[in-house]
A and B are shown apart, each in its own frame.
Chain A
Amino acid sequence: MSKILCIEDERFISELYARALQKAGFEVTVIADGEVGLHEAVSGKYDVILLDIMLPTMNGVDMLYKMKSSHVVPALRSKVIITTNLDQKEDIRKKVEEMADGYLIKAEITPKELVSYIQQVIV
């Protein structure tokens, strides 16, 4: 069973995502805080990390830099998918896309579409 970490501070959204993912057979952990989320993310337990950008205590872009930095040993095996409603400035977005495995605008997808996207990413 694949493990998914959902770092998302909007409770309704994380509830919807967790429900849809659990129904599809994933094990889901939800964390609503940037620093706590980063600590959990680098534990290496997860196959997929869904990462919001606007988060309390630390934003998702900084978290992504830290997750992918060389200080994380062994290197993170988790796939990181940015899930946000924020359309970034071009330069930031480019950097983010280089490091992450996906960039999704949450409003453009439903929870079920997210599930099928994750299934594609894991394969």
Chain B
Amino acid sequence: MDNITKFRQQFAVRSFLAIIVPLITTVVVWVLLDYLVDIDSIWILVLSLLAGLLAAIISFILINSIATKPLEKIEEIVTYTLHSERGGHLPDLNKLPIAKELVESISKQIYQLGSSTNTQSSVETPQTNVVTDASANKQPSQLIIDAIPLPIIGMDKDQRITLTNTAFAKYIGKPISEILSKPLYDVMNLSFQTDIGLEQWLSKCSESAVTASNTWVRVRLNLGDDTLKQFDLVANFSSGSTTGTETMLAIFDRSQQYSLDDQEIAFVAMAVHELRTPMTIMRGYIEVFEDELSDKLTPELVDFMHKMQASAQQLTAFVSNILNVARIEENQLFIKLRSENWPEILSSAIEDLQLRASVHGKTIELVIAENLPPVAADRISLHEVVNNLVDNAIKYSENSDKIIVTSQLNNDGLVETSVQDFGIGIPASVIGQLFQKFHRSHKSRVQVGGTGLGLYLSKELVNAHGGNIWVRSKEGEGSIFSFTILPFDKVSNDQTSEQDGIVRGAHGWIKNHSLYRN
């Protein structure tokens, strides 16, 4: 070890001097007295020896002090580390005559060992780990995480906060004393857009994982008083960590960016409002014409009126689709599941579509099984799903005139509804992408209008209901689109009263958009 060698050299030089200086002193005094003073040689000997003895005593004192100084400093350092809460000054190593480098290196190791034992003991009694503003009292590890501008929290296995930093305290606007040793969910009211949030993920981790990490985007933190923070969250789990901190969380704030997205939705909502007003008026006047002119017009003109009416209705539905897709994109579409009578919803949706079907020369045959239980449904959303599926059936069945809609309880106990057409069908190569946004059957691109939003929206809405949607199709023979929804008693649990409904969302967000209230 370099420091040790240096120390040995320094010590060797000094101890050599300590021996040689008294000897030299004796000889020099002897010679000087012999030349300068005329006394007995016996006195010269005595005086020289006395001078030599004096020099030896001084040497001894000096060498003793020099040799024990490093040990003394090390003891000071140990005392300082063990009782750091009492304050006091850090031992100054600059005045050490020898072994400065050696003591410095030992002291560093002592400080390090000292800080890790302190962290461990603070986990057992977290209230002693009070972080004050006086940075002199902070642990080195606390100083480091405080220096990081990213909000950070550590939690133990009970999801109590064991460590945090000033960036986090500032982010949520609470003092550190109100954060440390509190359960995470008391400190932060988080909502996740995925079904598996932090809590579920951690309980899964604690069952099986040794180490794991996960990222959530668009996590919402409601701070009350209308303050909403939105951020991406990174969690790192490490089972049975010796420090007691099992999970580390880091927050990447995206409030500004995500609120801009919200403003885009507000813009879409406003645009939709502006589109809806003239549509309301058109549909209103067309209805007046239909009511009061039908018996005065030729059958051809009545047919034109119906086409106009059906088109206005279609436009209305499309405009709502745009808004809903925008909301799904930004995780803002929420549905509220209530116990509903499915035959009633389905029949009313089909009734609304009859006009559109008839102006295109199609008939819709509706077959509903009698044993259907009440379903967990958001009326408007499922109305939209049926509307989109039947609308597609009308569009893509050029030469056939029949559309069959059936609904029954399937073998899994789910309510399965199918829309069958006998039209052009879908090539196997594109079936996989059918439910993606902006996808349309390649063959029909030319002659059939549409945005490719309908199936995407339907899928998101059905999934939010806990159901599935799929298609079976054969080119030239037609397609059957089917979706399932759940009986209400399968979705509800004891904690949920029927009155409150069950709240679900596309991607896990929740929206109540029920139109009718009872």
Q: Mark A46-71, 1 if CB is under 8 A from B, else 0.
A: 00000000100000000000000000
On whether the beta carbons of B284 and A13 are closer than 8 Å, the reply is yes
Partner of A97, one of B266, B332, B510, B517: B517
Inter-chain CA distance A97–B515, complex, in Å, is 9
Q: Across the interface, which residues of A come within 8 angstroms of B273, CB to CB?
A: 54, 85-87
Q: Does B402 contact A (CB under 8 A)?
A: no
- With contacts A10-B281, A16-B281 taken as known, whether A85 is within 8 angstroms of B517 at the C-beta atoms is no
**Interface range, A side:** 20 to 34
Chain A window 76-107, contacts with chain B (Cβ cutoff 8 Å), 1 for yes, 0 for no:
00000000011101100110010011111111
Task: Summarize B's interface: helix, strand, loop or mixed.
Answer: helix
Q: How far is the CA of A90 from the CA of B513 in the complex (A)?
A: 8
* A-B pairs, 10 with minimum CB distance: A107-B276, A85-B276, A16-B284, A106-B280, A12-B281, A110-B287, A107-B280, A107-B279, A107-B316, A86-B273
Interface string of A1-40 (1 = CB under 8 A from B): 0000000001011001101100000000000000000000
Q: Are B316 and A12 in contact (CB under 8 A)?
A: no
For A44, the chain B residues whose CB sits under 8 A away are none
Q: Would you call B515 and A110 a contact (CB within 8 A)?
A: no
B266-290 contacts to A, CB under 8 A, are: 266, 269, 272-273, 276-277, 279-281, 283-285, 287-288
Tell whether B328 is near chain A: CB-to-CB under 8 Å. no
Given contacts A85-B280, A89-B266, A105-B515, 14 further A-B contacts (CB under 8 A): A16-B281, A16-B285, A16-B288, A85-B272, A87-B513, A93-B512, A94-B512, A100-B517, A102-B516, A103-B515, A105-B320, A107-B283, A107-B320, A108-B316
Say yes or no: B334 contacts A90, CB within 8 Å: yes
Pair A87/B272 contact, Cβ less than 8 Å: yes
The answer to whether residues A107 and B319 also contact, given A86-B269, A93-B512 and a CB cut-off of 8 A, is: yes
Question: How many A-B residue pairs lie within 8 Å, measured between CB atoms?
Answer: 76
Please name the residue on chain A nearest to B516 by beta carbon: A102
Q: Which residues of B contact A94 (CB under 8 A)?
A: 512
A45 within 8 A of B: no
User: Which parts of B496-518 form the interface with A (CB within 8 Å)?
Assistant: 510-517
**Is A13 a contact partner of B277 (Cβ separation < 8 A)?**
yes
Which B residues are CB-close (under 8 A) to A101? 517
Q: Point out residues on A near B: beta carbons under 8 Å.
A: 10, 12-13, 16-17, 19-20, 54, 85-87, 89-90, 93-94, 97, 100-108, 110-112, 117
Q: Find the A residue at minimum CB distance from B383.
A: A108
CB distance from A117 to the nearest CB of B (A): 8
How far, in Å, is B335 (CB) from chain A's closest CB?
11
- The CB with the most chain A CB atoms within 10 A, among B272, B276, B285, B323, is that of B276
In the complex, which of the residues B285, B287, B288, B517 contacts A103, with contact meaning CB atoms closer than 8 Å?
B517
Near A by CB (< 8 A), chain B positions 306-338 give: 316, 319-320, 323, 332, 334
Contact of A87 among B269, B277, B279 (CB under 8 A): B269
Q: Which residue of A lies closest to B333 (CB)?
A: A90
Instruction: Judge whether B85 is part of the interface by a CB distance below 8 angstroms.
Output: no
Known: A16-B285, A112-B287. A87 touches B323 (CB 8 A): yes
Does B283 contact A110, Cβ atoms closer than 8 Å? yes
Question: In the bound complex, what is the Cα–Cα distance between A86 and B276 (angstroms)?
Answer: 9
- In the complex, are the beta carbons of A111 and B276 less than 8 A apart? no
B137 to chain A, nearest CB (A): 44
| List of A residues within 8 angstroms of B279 by Cβ | 107
Q: In the complex, which residue of chain A has the Cβ closest to the Cβ of B287?
A: A110
Nearest CB in chain A: distance from B317 CB, A: 8
**A98 closest partner in B (C-beta):** B517
Task: Tell whether B291 is near chain A: CB-to-CB under 8 Å.
Answer: yes
Nearest chain A CB to B171's CB is how many angstroms away? 23
